[in-house]
Amino acid sequence: MDLDFTPQQQAFRAEARAWLHDHIPTAPLKSYDTREGFEQHRAWEAKLAEGGYSSVTWPKELGGRGANLIDWLIFEEEYHAIDAPMRVNQNGILLLGPTLMEFGTVEQKARFLPRMARCDDMWAQGWSEPNAGSDMANIASKAVRDGDEYVINGQKIWSTRAVFANWLFGLFRSDPQSVRHHGLSYLLVPLDAKGITIRPIVALNGKQAFAEVFFDDVRVSIANRIGEEGQGWNVAMATAGFERGLLLRSPARFQRTAQRLVELYRRHQASADRDPSIREGVLKAWMDAEAYNLASYYTVGRLLKGGRIGAEASTNKIFWSELDLQMHETAIRILGPRAELIDDPEVRDWLEGFLFAQAGPIYAGSNEIQRNIIAERVLGLPKS
């Protein structure tokens, strides 16, 4: 692996850094789990699209920049180094977008991707159900074929961004006689369709990060199906691979958090050093973030030579979710009793990050499920 950047890559970094410096919002945006904050982030995403930075690896004709994955890693480093706002349309641009690139028809790509890149459409996830969370093959929501439409009935839960988004992608059982991962279809559903009810779920931080979505005879065109009828599981596993692998959690995000953790430690070193394990935790976080970054460059180099990400996405997911949790737990230990002072700007970001990090080992497929995948598909161990 060549760790030196080419002159073209260095020029791209300089261009991205200058653009971000000139266009980053002058004041912090409100949480995108509020209506006002959601619209602020939407405007920021549109600004990114104007600059060609909303989805740097997509083809230009579909709203991207036509760059490769190394450029994407470079852009992410510059994006997080300047503490740019978190991306509100992650579900669309980082999960559904790559899925459409691989499985969508020409018409579907032209219809959905440019609007996604500009954030004209905001996307929610529709995976989990009350009895199908980590065990997604247990999905029960039905999509019964009626001519050129599907009629959907059922319920989704923990649907990220569903409170404010206008589209949802998800799996539905199109063969009522099927079981487990057979007979599922991957559908795109407009959230303003007749028969949809959205009920917000309040998260630990008091905001509406998730929602329950109820479907009562909701009609969706078959043109909204990604992949073949009954083959949705394969499409969904590709989406899950993007979520667990590189795209959703770029290494630069964790490198910046590790850097902030070192800065926090230095500001409170006198009190933090009373417990030597805190210093060890800070060092471990920094080294793990650097290791994840190097591993990501290695993976991207392999992908650019025609390789694919398989079950190793599960290893990535365990690593970044536990790293994120460990960094925020260490920060809370450094802050000590101050960690409860939510009005303190220094504390607020760490505390909210700590609360969010609790979910990391659960979402995108629980880490217990990921360890099973590694045991069976990577190590070849027998199923329990």
Q: Which residues are catalytic?
A: 243
Q: How far apart are CA 175 and CA 339, in angstroms?
A: 51
Q: What three-state secondary structure class fits 52?
A: coil
Is 214:196 a contact under the CB 8 Å cutoff?
Answer: yes
Q: How far apart are CA 38 and CA 26, in angstroms?
A: 17
Query: 137-156 burial string, b = 16+ CB within 10 Å, else e?
Result: eebebbbeeeeebbbbbbbb
Closest CA to 214 of 161, 153, 159: 153
Contacts of 310 (CB under 8 A, 6+ apart): 241, 377
Neighbours of 50 (CB within 10 A): 10
First CA to last CA distance, the chain:
38
The residues with which 45 forms a beta bridge, in sequence order, are: none
350, exposed or middle or buried, with CB in 10 Å at 0-12, 13-18, 19+?
Answer: buried
Helix 69-81 vs helix 7-23: crossing angle, to nearest 10: 40
Closest CA to 37 of 338, 344, 350, 352: 352
Closest CA to 300 of 84, 76, 18: 76
